[in-house]
Structure 1
Amino acid sequence: MELDRLLHVTVVYAPHARQAREHLIEVKSGSTVAQCLSASGSLTGMTADDLLQLRVGVWGRKCSLAHIVRDGDRVELYRALRVDPKVARRERFNRQGAKAAGLFATRRAGAKAGY
C-alpha cells in the first residue's frame, strides 16, 4: 500500500553559529513537518521562548508545521536573527571606512573616481 511506505527525511537545525545538527529519520507517508520534528528529537532541550521564535522550512522555503513531507525532503529549523543584516553591513562599512570598502577600494594610482 502507498500509505504504509516509509519516507526518508532529513531534519537540520543549527543551534549556534558553525554548529549543525542533522538527523536522518524515517516517517510514514503522509507525515507532517511537526511529526518529523518530534520524531527527530530536535526540539528537546528548547525553552518555550525558543519554540515560539523558530520558523520551519523545506529545502529553504518557509512552510507551516502542517505541511506534508515527501521522500527525500530536508526539513530545516530557522532560528531568529540576532542582528538585522542591514544594520550589520552598515556597521562593518563604518568600521572599515569609505576608502577601504566597496567596489572601487583598490584602484590604480591617478585613475578617475569610479573607474
Structure 2
Amino acid sequence: MAERIAVEVVCAMPDRQLLRRVSLPAGSSVLQAVEQSGILQELPELPFDPSRLGIFSRRVAADDVLQDGDRVEIYRPLTLDPKDARRRRAR
C-alpha cells in the first residue's frame, strides 16, 4: 500500500477563514493539495495565482513536494501597497 501524507490547506479572506485537511499520496505537490482541498471551488471570488502559495509562511512553488504535516497557505493579492499605507499613516 502506498504511503500517504496528511496536510492542511488554509486561506484567509477578509470575512472568513477556511481550513481543510487532506490526505494525499507521498510525493504530492502543493498545487495538488490546493486542488484536492476544494477551497478554490468554495471561494470562486478568490483570484487564484499559483505563484502566491506558501508553506508555514514561506513562499513556495506550486510544484514543490509536500511533507507530512505541512500547512499550505493560499495568499490573496495585496489590496494596498505597504509603502502607500505607511505614507498615508504618516500624513
TM range (shorter): 0.7 to 0.9
The alignment's TM-score, normalised by the length of structure 2, stands at 0.86
The corresponding residue for 2:18 is 21
The answer for unaligned runs of 5 or more in structure 2 is none
CA distance 1:53–1:89, change in 2 (3 Å): farther
2:30 to 30, 33, 46: 33
Instruction: Measure the CA separation in 1 of the matches of 2:21 and 2:14.
Output: 21
| Deviation of 1:17 (Å) | 2.0
Are 1:50 and 2:44 counterparts? no
> Paired residues, what number?
90
1:78 to 75, 80, 90: 75
| Superimposed CA distance per residue, residues 1-39 of structure 1 (whole angstroms, 9 cap, x where no aligned partner) | 6xx11111000001x225211111111111111110111
2:5 to 1, 4, 7: 7
Q: How large is the RMSD of aligned CA atoms in angstroms?
A: 2.0
The alignment's TM-score, normalised by the length of structure 1, stands at 0.70
More strand by proportion, 1 or 2? 2
Q: Which amino acid aligns with 1:10?
A: E
The answer for unaligned runs of 5 or more in structure 1 is 95-115
Q: Which runs of 4+ in 1 moved over 6 A?
A: none
Structure number with greater CO (CA < 8 Å, separation at least 6) is: 2
| Deviation of 1:43 (Å) | 1.2
Percent identical residues: 34
Instruction: Measure the CA separation in 2 of the matches of 1:78 and 1:52.
Output: 8
Q: Is the 8 A contact 1:54 1:78 kept in 2?
A: no
Structure of higher CA gyration radius: 1
